A and B are shown apart, each in its own frame.
Chain A
Amino acid sequence: MNYRGPYRVRADQKAMPEIQHPGDAIVRVTRSCICGSDLHLYHGLVPDTRVGTTFGHEFIGVVEEIGSDVQNLKVGDNVLVPFNIACGKCVFCQQGLYGNCHESNPQATAVGGIFGYSHTAGGFDGGQAEYVRVPFADVGPTVIPDDMDHDNAVLLTDVVPTGYQAAEMGAIKPGDTVVVFGAGPVGIMAAKSAWLFGAGRVIVIDHIEYRLEFVKRFAQCEAYNFRSLEDVVLFIKKTTDYIGADVCIDAVGCEAAGSAMQTITGRKLMLQAGSATALHWAINSVKKGGVVSIVGVYGPTDNLVPIGNVVNKGITIRANQASVKRLLPRLIEHVREGRLNPKEIITHRVPLEEVSDAYHIFSAKLDNCIKTILIPPSANK
């Protein structure tokens, strides 16, 4: 996969990646996904996204080669590779903040290294490819259990942990009302995960009807189309006896629809780092003393949000990139026990060679697309 500029990608032959550090591995990719956050790159919203970059931070594959220091993997292992590149040694990794590693991204301090996510996230090529270089191979990559479906495994690299951590950061108490903004793959997983933390009521807000229908069934929750609501915040207030939700989750990020002002200033004119409509609604919909959990991706500059209401309502805001490695043992257990079956969200399987069409279908939400898996030609080698 080769990025050529906003809305333009194509399949190309590129040089084979090489071991560049004794802790590296080279992985032959067997499946990769297009993530909702890849669309921010695809739409040209992330600064320092260079032409020629290969996207893809959700992938699994087979270890083909290992560096001289790699101890925990061997050639031939089937591995799932967390989207965060983490050293395991820095003070942040030591705290379990594997999404905030300080040794994997020279270009920025605010974010750790991420596969295929621009030079703002380290300049690494990603997994929408046949082969990929995986740094710190002893830390992130996890051998896929023999009994695990590989479709479930690839979704454990980002979308499931991100949705789960969104619920975790909400500090949900048994019986809480949880509102999830966004019925994309992460929002779907956040809604599903909210029940595991004991939510009493889970409400999802979006405007894509087929996704609302899906999440209602998949996550056994309520789902509402904000286009049919006069005022989303007022709706949440009314449906919570005029108190507000205990926890609101922003699972949309910088390309939210629903506010003309946010769309024009954030997405069209780029005067702010994307449109913060979902976050705006989350802050205004949560009850006093409630929690807003943010996993939606925003750009590195500024956004217009009602910060005065955060202060006046005493809201706690928690946000982060998911710490995939920290969460994996628990999530693997949930998948094995049947509490989570993420592969149900996969709607499209596309050969890597057709990556241009795959991106357009996902971006334009055509053909009832929820989650797309790309299959490289060498997947079954």
Chain B
Amino acid sequence: MEKRDFERKDIIGWGIDANPLDVPAYPMKQRNENDNKGMIWERPKQQPDKVEILTSNERPTITAVFGTPNPPSGLSGKIRRYAFQFSESSYGHWLPLLLADRVNMIEGVVDDIKRGHFPNIFSELGGKSELKHNPKGFARKVLVGLAITAAIVMVCKRDSKHGEDEY
């Protein structure tokens, strides 16, 4: 098996941080007198909560700061509220959140259309760059898409013909 010999002199700074006294080796070892005393620190000022913030049930209170964009809303919001009844250790927390994300995606398209903006899915998917940098891959995807569409159309036509015959 080939081993690549290197010249340490070629590597600027080789071993300069090797002395563990120079830097904290791992932060977990930086203990202080407040360890294991619970949440006793002087808390930062509290950000006012002007929108609905879902909070982990593994916390006694809301944190000092939090993000306010995109508060829960619609059906996805209901699912998210349900999810936050469960702890972070539970599938009941995470799986509904993933479901809510997918529902939220559909809600996003509906909201766009309501606002008079029909989303340009091709552009949002980065289609222009795919066409520019991977034209063969782009053509392959288009052909596969067309083949699947044609197959679905054929199956549907065949089924409707069977239905008419039975009728």
The answer to whether A5 and B108 touch across the interface, beta carbons within 8 angstroms, is yes
Residue B162 interfacial (CB < 8 Å) = no
The answer to whether B67 and A10 touch across the interface, beta carbons within 8 angstroms, is no
The answer to whether A339 and B13 touch across the interface, beta carbons within 8 angstroms, is yes
The answer to whether A320 and B94 touch across the interface, beta carbons within 8 angstroms, is no
Identify A168's interface contact among B25, B42, B125, B134, CB under 8 A. Answer: B25
| Interface 9-residue window, one of A17-25, A246-254, A276-284 | A17-25
In the complex, chain B residues whose CB is within 8 Å of the CB of A300: 88, 94
6 contacts between A and B (CB under 8 A): A95-B31, A136-B44, A196-B15, A220-B11, A318-B28, A363-B126
Identify A91's interface contact among B14, B41, B91, B94, CB under 8 A. Answer: B41
In the complex, chain A residues whose CB is within 8 Å of the CB of B24: 96, 326
| Interface 9-residue window, one of A76-84, A104-112, A257-265 | A104-112
A 293-311 to B, binary, CB cutoff 8 A, 1 in contact else 0: 0000001110000000000
Residue A226 interfacial (CB < 8 Å) = no
In the complex, chain B residues whose CB is within 8 Å of the CB of A344: none
The answer to whether B133 and A361 touch across the interface, beta carbons within 8 angstroms, is yes
| Interface 9-residue window, one of A121-129, A146-154, A180-188, A205-213 | A121-129
The answer to whether B45 and A103 touch across the interface, beta carbons within 8 angstroms, is no
Identify A195's interface contact among B13, B70, B123, CB under 8 A. Answer: B13
Task: Knowing A106-B55, A366-B134, say if A169 contacts B63 (CB, 8 Å).
Answer: no
The answer to whether A356 and B125 touch across the interface, beta carbons within 8 angstroms, is yes
In the complex, chain A residues whose CB is within 8 Å of the CB of B67: 113, 119, 122-125
In the complex, chain B residues whose CB is within 8 Å of the CB of A96: 24, 27, 30
Residue B159 interfacial (CB < 8 Å) = no
Task: Knowing A106-B66, A136-B65, A198-B14, say if A168 contacts B23 (CB, 8 Å).
Answer: yes
The answer to whether A5 and B45 touch across the interface, beta carbons within 8 angstroms, is no
How distant is the Cα of A196 from the Cα of B51 in the complex, in angstroms?
47
Identify A50's interface contact among B1, B70, B125, B127, CB under 8 A. Answer: B70
Given contacts A5-B105, A201-B4, A366-B129, 4 further A-B contacts (CB under 8 A): A10-B124, A53-B69, A87-B64, A363-B126
Distance between A8 CB and nearest chain B CB, rounded to angstroms: 4
How distant is the Cα of A106 from the Cα of B46 in the complex, in angstroms?
12
The answer to whether A69 and B13 touch across the interface, beta carbons within 8 angstroms, is no
Distance between B100 CB and nearest chain A CB, rounded to angstroms: 7
Identify A48's interface contact among B31, B40, B80, CB under 8 A. Answer: B80
Residue B58 interfacial (CB < 8 Å) = yes
CB contact list, B1-41 vs A, under 8 A: 1, 3-4, 6, 10-18, 20, 23-28, 30-32, 34-35, 37, 39-41
Q: Which residue of the partner chain B has the closest CB to A110?
A: B88
Which positions in A face B, CB cutoff 8 Å? 4-10, 20-24, 44, 47-54, 69, 85, 87, 89-91, 94-97, 102-110, 113, 119-120, 122-125, 135-136, 168-169, 171-174, 195-198, 201, 220-222, 235, 238-239, 270, 299-301, 318, 320, 323, 326, 330, 334, 337-340, 356-361, 363-364, 366-367
The answer to whether A106 and B63 touch across the interface, beta carbons within 8 angstroms, is yes
Distance between B73 CB and nearest chain A CB, rounded to angstroms: 9
The answer to whether B124 and A4 touch across the interface, beta carbons within 8 angstroms, is yes
Task: Knowing A91-B41, A196-B14, say if A356 contacts B30 (CB, 8 Å).
Answer: no
In the complex, chain A residues whose CB is within 8 Å of the CB of B39: 90-91, 102
Identify B69's interface contact among A52, A85, A201, A357, CB under 8 A. Answer: A52
How distant is the Cα of A89 from the Cα of B112 in the complex, in angstroms?
42
Identify A318's interface contact among B1, B26, B127, CB under 8 A. Answer: B26
In the complex, chain B residues whose CB is within 8 Å of the CB of A107: 53-56, 66, 84
B 69-102 to A, binary, CB cutoff 8 A, 1 in contact else 0: 1100000100010001000100100100110111
Task: Knowing A337-B13, A366-B133, say if A50 contacts B31 (CB, 8 Å).
Answer: no
The answer to whether A123 and B66 touch across the interface, beta carbons within 8 angstroms, is yes
Distance between A21 CB and nearest chain B CB, rounded to angstroms: 4
In the complex, chain A residues whose CB is within 8 Å of the CB of B45: 21-23, 69
